[in-house]
Copies of this chain bind each other. A is one copy, B any other.
Amino acid sequence: MLEQRIIRNLQQTLGKEHVSTDKADLICYSYDATQQQFLPDVVIYPATAEEVALVMKLANAENIPVFPRGAGSGFTGGSLPTRGGIVLSTERMNRILEIDSENLVATVEPGVVTEQFQKAVEKLGLFYPPDPASLKFSTLGGNVAECAGGPRCVKYGVTKDFIIGLEVVTPTGDIITTGGPTMKGVVGYDLTKLICGSEGTLGIITRIVIKLLPLPEAKKTMLVLFDSIDGAARAVSTIIGHKIIPTTLEFMDGRTLDCVRQATDLEVPEGARAVLIIEVDGDREFLAKQVQKIQQLIQPLGVVETRTAETPEESEALWQIRRSVSASLRKVNPDKFNEDICVPRSKVPEMIRKVDAIAEKYQIPIVNFGHAGDGNIHVNVMIDKKVPGELERAHKAIEEVFRGALELGGTMSGEHGVGIAKAPYIPLEISEKAADYMKTIKKALDPNNILNPGKIFLD
């Protein structure tokens, strides 16, 4: 519990209505997509970098942990107030400040919802590619802090690749700007990219400068059903190996399709044991050629059926199967761990075989889907926590999945981050010396360990 004088201080800084100790609010801000819960002492809603800076100065002086929070849609607990203290919500900093069509650059506040930003720039013929599954509610600030990905990252890259400048409040309460609206810049260290993906531990993002692209003229979507998982996985490496990089190359395995069949009335033929959704975008005429080439390449790999979309509506219909997955899984199994390993793209078939063997060994259903085009597979370990022993078996299975990915030159996380969920596994991937290098940076910049303490590294 924070002392009343601290609450009063926050109220004086932010205005009474922007500081809440109401139990209902505390509960609302106590969880994220991990389903874990930690109650904060207070939730605050600053509107400016100056207010955020004052809060950080106070928090340092009083030794109160601060947990910045976008929409709380993260999968690894990056925004969870694990040590009580202050949840700092960015939801009032939600303005699109500028979309500069001439320079293909936008400036936004961190609380802007990703999809709303995408729609705003698309109206002007511009394009912001990163498309995490949470885009309807997740915020750009959260996307930057976690370096969010999404299906289109195969061709376009991740959030970080589009962030060229930031305004940041440091852990000790200074306001700094990094980068800026130019396409290049090499004056000093690249703090912009350091802060992207640092999960809210090195600074609180209060403004974001974003590089945009011209909106592609057209896109084409193919949904290809395969008779085996291996055929689909080999299709991924065949396409990339032939030096074609589609916009998206989404993958779903047979168990995913079983869940979709059980939970929806979408049409999935019985013989289909895996699906790829392949999207290409760009010049209209070029697309037709590219689709044809992709079809030729993958046809020998056990294609059961190919559906293609010519219009946005048809494309949306094809994506329905992919979009129904999360809800379908929930209907079939009550609890799941959604991991997101990433391996070199050609290793996807081998990784899938490893996961199947692990599922078999621990007698736990594991459902695989995700962004196979960049080797980023969402490995969903499906359990019922109420069944004795299942949770323990799941943890063992997850550790083996991580070890398997690392053996193939991969990583434990392509886009979800570490937070608290993967922190115990950090030594599997990052050597002690490399972790020391990172911790040295954190410790130097946040000497009182005030900003999002305990995330990424157990401390």
B-contacting residues of A (Cβ < 8 Å)? 100-105, 125-126, 146-147, 149, 153-154, 157-158, 160-161, 170, 174-178, 180-191, 193-194, 196-198, 202, 213-215, 237, 240-241, 243-245, 282-283, 285-286, 289, 342-346, 371, 374-376, 409-418, 422, 426, 429-431, 433-438, 440-441, 443-445, 456
Contact = CB atoms under 8 A, between A and B. Distances in A.
Interchain residue pairs A-B with the least CB separation, the first 5 = A214-B243, A444-B444, A183-B374, A193-B193, A184-B414
A179 B431 CA distance: 12
A187 B237 CA distance: 24
9 contacts: A101-B241, A104-B245, A153-B183, A176-B433, A182-B409, A184-B414, A186-B414, A189-B441, A214-B245
B197 A194 contact: no
A94 to B, nearest CB: 24
B213 A433 contact: no
Nearest to A445: B440
B456 A188 contact: yes
B103 A191 contact: no
A147 B429 CA distance: 27
A44 to B, nearest CB: 23
Contacts of A100: 344, 346
Nearest to A346: B102
Contact of A438 (B149, B191, B193, B202): B191
A182 B444 contact: no
A191 B104 contact: no
Given A101-B241, A182-B342, A185-B342, 6 more contacts: A103-B345, A184-B376, A189-B197, A190-B197, A215-B243, A283-B286
A440 to B, nearest CB: 5
A442 to B, nearest CB: 8
Contacts of A344: 100, 103, 105, 181-182
Contacts of A176: 431, 433-434, 437
A160 to B, nearest CB: 7
A128 to B, nearest CB: 14
B190 A418 contact: no
Contact of A411 (B154, B182, B342): B182
A445 B434 contact: no
A162 to B, nearest CB: 11
A376 B412 contact: no
A414 B187 CA distance: 8
B188 A435 contact: yes
A175 B183 CA distance: 32
A426 B182 contact: no
A246 to B, nearest CB: 12
A352 to B, nearest CB: 16
